[in-house]
Structure 1
């Protein structure tokens, strides 16, 4: 049979040219030409991205997100018309809010019905799945969307889309192609890929460098706040360099990467939703915010009105956030790595007051050490129940420099960051967004990105449900991406309870302890992974069982099997009824 060179062939070639390694695919009736082109390529040993069959679209996009978060390289997701687009669910939100580059392609129902072109409607579903504005489903989250209307310029559209995705602020892009167009025969087009590179990183203006450095060096109590500087691992080194040279403490506010070594003497903890004022933030006379969407929550925690705030970010306007503002003296749109290089070079040329810097270094070191001593006290076994602090400390013992931690612990986000004591850039990350279920697919993507790494996914029981674990563990076995999942299981959604108490601390819900969030009777969560993907599965209910269970789980990974430990924490129904700070997300 003579092979055809179609729009679908050109599309797949363009992905390969752009450096895409994997297509996370959930094919449907709109993809015959794509499937035919892939089959022809396999038959002729033609190099194209590898297809990863993804039985659920949420998992597909989460896997692409995880791969891109580890490597910085955008991958592709292929879904079925508007139904598959909607089934991407919250993963699109995570990709947008986490600024993760990915190309999403969806087919579209055929636009002919009487055989006018190859691919014309021949199934009843083609009428039902024809909607007025398919691209509008995700337009509020994508950096770029377009419809492929011709085979002749399809490569240019793909490369343009990926250029958008990979340029700061990075994010998802969406292309849609009707079946007739994707079946259209065409002539091959050569693309010079070096002409389609991402936009070069932006830098601070010369006057901005001088102003920030002058403010930091004159300040008595300077402070740095960051959330995602660590998405570029080289940025961490430059942040350490600036902090060490001027003895500036660093706070991580709602982090979704390892931004600064937790064990470093200038690291002064984490900020989340606690209803209390951070003392360092309140006392600061100059704050440098670098790469942070939510550097503080001003209702209860903010710098003083006399404090000078300087803000550096690739998206300082937060263009996708209708309500957002902080009282910054100046906002700078710049790449954090480039900006820190500039600031450090300027600082290195100055004559500084070394005595004042050393006094501050000693004071901040004492604060750091006091914090860590307090954290260590909470890691002790206390009674018959497993505390999240003790669980995290035990997990820390089985990690090394070759481990990637995925944190979707929800009400235990802060606990995980505090007690993992992450030191290495790239060693811990979160979704960057607020849609739950990222961790499962992201673990597959992270393992594909770096097969030699040990991937450990830490999740709440609620977010475990959201992750579609049956799909996740089927994929993990099929594509040889074993990882360890540890469920922080309190048998319910704790965060909505905390959110309610944060607004109504003395309300009726607190009085009656009725929040409609408990999962009683509990499910066999680990058993889902065992049934779907042959994972090692175990429920752990007593502190004495924990370390041996972790040992057995690691042994399963060595055998090439995934493992899931369902660790029972104190139940949300058994906790004392008392006001508490709200959770990070709605679930």
Structure 2
């Protein structure tokens, strides 16, 4: 008796298309509307990473996308499953990270009426993605996916949403998998534009560099380093450009700048007469905060500048960032390192604060002491993911990083709860490398359930919780603006017991002298570890002296 061969279905075509794009992992939560996809994944992969919530799944895929440059894949069921992913999808888009979310949908015949778990998912995701579409014909699955990858991975990366009705997944198909072509090479800008940019910089009295999100890719970072070796200008960077400078170029670093507008690096930019903005995106750092009337901007990016009254570059080098920087660097005259008072003040203040951390003792732990000991304990290949809150500002200012895409922040929506799921995505993207994630106790409790995911996957992640019993950044803003704090405190949590309940190892820092020994013990483990750190936020008032409260989560 001959074996009956099942016809290929829309689900087969979808999974085959993912494989054609080299997808290694699909992050998600199972549900009835995507069971046909899960059945094919069980048969031949890619590997399905079962998450505890769709928000965490989206964050994991986002981290994968940021680190690899390839779209991370999220799979959710219809109704509340896809709704739960909205926050993570919006975060990926606003942080400029490539992601594709594939959501199940009720059958096409049921969409015109009120039915179980039926909603307009295309309309829901349209405002928070680069593209939102539903598959209406099973034979077009691969056509839609090949374009979804192209849109998600464009220079302004972001999320793409693909809705697939369950009857599309089960329908027989004759369509073939479309293999994506090799990516186009952008190249450098025309010579006359490069010459104009060089002339602007050569005539500058107080030039500076601002590095943005697209300067932080490995290829662009290498070009930035080559440029600085020949032209040692002072460098400020946004949070998402962290790691662009190597250790041997750190003397040019004047600080990370962003939504906290009280840093010495902010002042250097405001005093500059020329700013070379490399890979800069206005969502990271409002142009009016750092551009002064005398500032003349040179915009170097793969994307045209978003023009407004503050940001209107006098020269624009569009195309491949690395090619344009190399071309610009070859045309500039040599000049000595900057010898300006504002630059010297920025460098001195950064180093003084870093040095102060080494001498701080007592309990609770001062942020600078913990950051000092963490940096001294980690090698440069470790990935550090950081949540949103007061700890993020401390880390962004004083934790130096020397490898691109190895220190991750959220600067688009400044979304809380990202650090632990990001760490899981990072550990999968960089197998064999250490990953440390850091949260406040408020942000950790938003996605703490994903610790079980890390335990199940046996990922050697070290997660650090700065514990103070409240939303400390919000409290500091309230005290600054209203003289009192309200609605920002919560009850105590024993994070060591919580870690153990999930099957992880838990440690608690009892004194400043414990930091390095506990970190070393945690980093030596081959399974997830959580470290609870009672933190001293008494200096937080200085962090918020110039923060716009409306910009906070």
Note closer, same or farther for the CA distance 1:128–1:586 as it changes in structure 2 (3 Å cut).
Answer: farther
Q: 1:92 aligns with which of 80, 84, 89?
A: 89
- The answer (yes or no) to whether the contact 2:388–2:410 under 8 Å persists in 1 is no
CA distance in 2, matches of 1:482, 1:317: 41
Following superposition, the deviation at residue 259 of structure 1 comes to: 2.3
TM-score normalized with structure 2 length = 0.89
Q: Is 1:518 paired with 2:518?
A: no
Q: Which residue of 2 aligns with 1:580?
A: 545
Note closer, same or farther for the CA distance 1:526–1:297 as it changes in structure 2 (3 Å cut).
Answer: farther
Structure 1: segments with no counterpart, 5+ residues: 114-119
Following superposition, the deviation at residue 566 of structure 1 comes to: 1.2
Q: Which residue of 2 aligns with 1:59?
A: 56
Q: 2:512 aligns with which of 536, 543, 553?
A: 543
- The answer (yes or no) to whether the contact 2:27–2:58 under 8 Å persists in 1 is yes
CA distance in 1, matches of 2:519, 2:10: 50
Note closer, same or farther for the CA distance 1:276–1:187 as it changes in structure 2 (3 Å cut).
Answer: closer
Q: 1:308 aligns with which of 278, 293, 296?
A: 296
Q: Which residue of 2 aligns with 1:373?
A: 352
Structure 2: segments with no counterpart, 5+ residues: none
CA distance in 2, matches of 1:26, 1:226: 37
Following superposition, the deviation at residue 545 of structure 1 comes to: 2.9
TM-score normalized with structure 1 length = 0.85
Residues 26-75 of structure 1: per-residue CA shift (max 9 Å, x gap): 12111232233334xx2xxx4x3111112211111111111121211213
Give the 3-state SS of the residue equivalent to 2:250 in structure 1. Answer: coil
Q: How does 1:17-32 map to 2 (within 5 A)?
A: 17-32=20-35
- The answer (yes or no) to whether the contact 1:403–1:453 under 8 Å persists in 2 is yes
Note closer, same or farther for the CA distance 1:452–1:85 as it changes in structure 2 (3 Å cut).
Answer: same
Q: Which residue of 2 aligns with 1:117?
A: none
Residues 444-484 of structure 1: per-residue CA shift (max 9 Å, x gap): 11111111110001222222122x212x1221122222200
Equivalenced residue count is: 544
Note closer, same or farther for the CA distance 1:541–1:517 as it changes in structure 2 (3 Å cut).
Answer: farther
Note closer, same or farther for the CA distance 1:312–1:21 as it changes in structure 2 (3 Å cut).
Answer: same
Following superposition, the deviation at residue 21 of structure 1 comes to: 0.9
Give the 3-state SS of the residue equivalent to 1:127 in structure 2. Answer: coil
CA distance in 1, matches of 2:121, 2:375: 45
Following superposition, the deviation at residue 220 of structure 1 comes to: 1.6
Q: Is 1:7 paired with 2:10?
A: yes
Following superposition, the deviation at residue 539 of structure 1 comes to: 2.6
Residues 80-128 of structure 1: per-residue CA shift (max 9 Å, x gap): 1132221013211221012111111111112336xxxxxx99xxx9813
Q: 1:280 aligns with which of 268, 278, 290?
A: 268
Q: Which residue of 1 aligns with 2:410?
A: 431
- The answer (yes or no) to whether the contact 2:197–2:315 under 8 Å persists in 1 is no
Q: Which residue of 2 aligns with 1:162?
A: 149
Q: How does 1:179-198 map to 2 (within 5 A)?
A: 179-187=166-174, 189-194=176-181, 197-198=182-183
Following superposition, the deviation at residue 240 of structure 1 comes to: 2.2
Q: Which residue of 2 aligns with 1:487?
A: 465
Q: How does 1:442-457 map to 2 (within 5 A)?
A: 442-457=422-437
Note closer, same or farther for the CA distance 1:362–1:517 as it changes in structure 2 (3 Å cut).
Answer: closer
Note closer, same or farther for the CA distance 1:326–1:571 as it changes in structure 2 (3 Å cut).
Answer: same
Following superposition, the deviation at residue 361 of structure 1 comes to: 9.2
Give the 3-state SS of the residue equivalent to 1:152 in structure 2. Answer: helix
Q: Which residue of 2 aligns with 1:531?
A: 501
CA RMSD in angstroms comes to 3.0
- The answer (yes or no) to whether the contact 1:168–1:201 under 8 Å persists in 2 is no
